Chains A and B, each alone.
Chain A
Amino acid sequence: MQGFGWTFYGFFLFCIVWIAGYFAWARWMAAREARERLRPERGKKG
């Protein structure tokens, strides 16, 4: 007899890691773009 292996449980783990990693990247990109948008405005003030 044999049960489910890594092909089954590994996919659930993969989904969690992929989605968490993706959102971390998307947040980082959004923060970077926000900083880039602010940069010229700071330049004008200076």
Chain B
Amino acid sequence: MTASLAVVLIAYFAGVITLGIVGYRRTRTSADFIVAGRTLGPLVGGATLAATQISAGTFVGTVGLHYLAGVSFVWVWPGAWLGWFVSAVFVAPRLRDAGTLTIPEYCEARFGSRAVRALAAVLIVVAYTIFLVAQYKASGIIVSTVLGWPAWTGIALVLVSTVVYSLAGGLHGGARIDLLQSMVMVVGLVAAVPYLLGHLGGLDALGRALAQIDPRLLGSFFEWRELLAFGAAFGLSLAATPLEATRFMAMRDRATARYAIGVAYIFQAVIGCAIMIVGLSMRALFPTLPSADLASSVMAAHVLTPVAGALLLVAAFSAIMSTVNAILLVGAASVAHDLYGRFLKPAATELERLAANRIAVLALAVLPVWFAMREVTLVQFIVLAQANLIASAFFAPIVVGLNWRRGGKAAALGSMLGGTAACVIWTLTTPRPLGLEPIFAGVCASLAMFVLFAALERPSS
């Protein structure tokens, strides 16, 4: 495995470095750094949307859930895609035409308030720092399980490689590397499928093996209500997350933004189907793993051929790196463009803003390492917590704010603070009040506050 891994890693990083250099040469201004000069086409745009959403949680958590619960979990994807469809209709085209570089900047332009911009920037930095902890932790887990190396080596690998290309090329480099990484994910996962099915004796044999373990694995392990709740949670956060929304601002035009979502569907459909078969096959091969989250790592280490295992490992790192890159660029833009460039030094030159973006990337990348090295909660829990927080804070100001003329400063501040507070209260309280998941409580509170304050505010001209 080690020799194959070395070859695959060298080829992969050669591609990453080359695309990073291309990005560096194209990055002259902070607009180039943050939104790639608004030049992304449908293929690169779609790949960057897909790669940003597919993270450590997909490779570790989703494979694990298919291992545990069988086929039915695949029906969570339509919920996420519905979120993107909401985005395609109500968010992406309007954000593309808003002319702003970041979500906090859009908030100031839409709601006419610097306080809303500052609050949005702070919420983004806090939520995405939490998200980074999950990505670092997952990279440590994968490296220690598959290769037997200490967890910090995985964290260091992701940190150094991603920071270098994020610093150098901004979104110009990051988006093109996302295309490479999406392709690596597709190849790594799709290559594993025929090997696993061949190992088991085909699809029918897999079905028979699963039926013997637990017939629910082939049908409805989860009820439709549970699937609806999972899917709605993903969809709500996808429709409004600044991580994806910023990508729409980088597209060539509004039609491109819509086509890019279609391309992202294709990448995710292939990856989703492959991940389902991988999880099911691992259950048939190893019915009693100590933890479902180990399924993908055990497969890479013990089931696949060395080359296929190495490909899968690099695919998992691609998923992590693409998400880390997106977090760093969006978080850094909030610090440099929205806090430094708007409040600390509004007269900053283009070069100073670009330098501030790069310094912020470095600072935001290093900050969560301390938390990732500690014994904190499960990776999937951290991913879910930040997704809940982001959806609760931003769903109303982005989705409603873009499509309803009513609502100003008070509506935006009330919905962001109310949604965040409800999400935190519901997360920390057991049993959940009213039996609601934190994301639904947060989004409902955020919507209610927005409508309430909008009704109380004087309509703007």
Q: Does A associate with B in a complex?
A: yes
State whether the Cβ of A43 lies closer than 8 Å to any Cβ in chain B: no
- Chain A residues with CB under 8 Å of B71's CB are 4, 7-8, 11
Question: Cβ of B269 and Cβ of A19 under 8 Å apart?
Answer: yes
State whether the Cβ of B74 lies closer than 8 Å to any Cβ in chain A: yes
- Chain A residues with CB under 8 Å of B85's CB are 22
- Chain B residues with CB under 8 Å of A23's CB are 259, 262
Question: Cβ of B273 and Cβ of A12 under 8 Å apart?
Answer: yes
Bound Cα distance A8, B203 (Å): 11
Question: Cβ of B255 and Cβ of A30 under 8 Å apart?
Answer: yes
Bound Cα distance A18, B259 (Å): 14
Q: Restricting to B416-445, which residues have a CB under 8 Å from any CB of A?
A: none
Question: Cβ of A2 and Cβ of B265 under 8 Å apart?
Answer: no
- Chain A residues with CB under 8 Å of B262's CB are 19, 22-23, 26
Question: Cβ of A15 and Cβ of B218 under 8 Å apart?
Answer: no
Q: Mark B260-290, 1 if CB is under 8 A from A, else 0.
A: 0110011001001100100000000000000
Q: Closest residue of chain A to B218, judged by CB?
A: A4
Given contacts A7-B219, A14-B78, A29-B255, contact A22 B273 (CB under 8 A): no
Q: Mark B53-92, 1 if CB is under 8 A from A, else 0.
A: 0000000000000000001101101100100010010000
State whether the Cβ of A5 lies closer than 8 Å to any Cβ in chain B: yes
Question: Cβ of B219 and Cβ of A5 under 8 Å apart?
Answer: yes
Minimal beta-carbon separation of A34 from chain B (angstroms): 8
Q: Closest residue of chain A to B73, judged by CB?
A: A7
Given contacts A12-B273, A22-B85, A22-B262, contact A4 B207 (CB under 8 A): yes
Question: Cβ of A1 and Cβ of B72 under 8 Å apart?
Answer: no
Q: Pick the contact of A33: B215, B220, B254, B266 (CB < 8 A).
A: B254
Question: Cβ of B255 and Cβ of A26 under 8 Å apart?
Answer: yes
State whether the Cβ of A46 lies closer than 8 Å to any Cβ in chain B: no
Question: Cβ of B208 and Cβ of A3 under 8 Å apart?
Answer: yes
State whether the Cβ of B204 lies closer than 8 Å to any Cβ in chain A: yes
Bound Cα distance A8, B88 (Å): 27
Bound Cα distance A5, B219 (Å): 7
Question: Cβ of B74 and Cβ of A11 under 8 Å apart?
Answer: yes
- Chain A residues with CB under 8 Å of B207's CB are 2-4
Question: Cβ of A1 and Cβ of B266 under 8 Å apart?
Answer: no
- Chain B residues with CB under 8 Å of A19's CB are 262, 265-266, 269
Question: Cβ of B258 and Cβ of A30 under 8 Å apart?
Answer: yes
Bound Cα distance A36, B26 (Å): 33
Q: Restricting to B74-120, which residues have a CB under 8 Å from any CB of A?
A: 74-75, 77-78, 81, 85, 88
Bound Cα distance A17, B253 (Å): 26
State whether the Cβ of B211 lies closer than 8 Å to any Cβ in chain A: yes
Bound Cα distance A8, B73 (Å): 10
Q: Restricting to B199-227, which residues have a CB under 8 Å from any CB of A?
A: 203-204, 207-208, 211, 215, 218-220
Question: Cβ of A26 and Cβ of B269 under 8 Å apart?
Answer: no
Given contacts A11-B75, A12-B273, contact A1 B208 (CB under 8 A): yes
Question: Cβ of A7 and Cβ of B220 under 8 Å apart?
Answer: yes
Q: Pick the contact of A22: B203, B218, B219, B265 (CB < 8 A).
A: B265
Bound Cα distance A1, B288 (Å): 21
Q: Closest residue of chain B to A11, judged by CB?
A: B74
* Chain A to chain B: the 10 pairs with minimum beta-carbon distance, closest first: A3-B207, A30-B255, A15-B269, A26-B258, A2-B211, A8-B71, A7-B71, A4-B207, A23-B262, A11-B74
CB-defined A-B contacts under 8 Å, sample of 19: A2-B207, A3-B207, A3-B218, A7-B75, A8-B74, A11-B74, A12-B273, A14-B78, A15-B265, A15-B269, A15-B273, A19-B265, A22-B88, A22-B265, A23-B259, A26-B255, A29-B255, A30-B259, A33-B254
Having A7-B74, A15-B273, one finds 4 other A-B pairs with CB under 8 Å, namely A1-B208, A4-B207, A8-B71, A33-B254
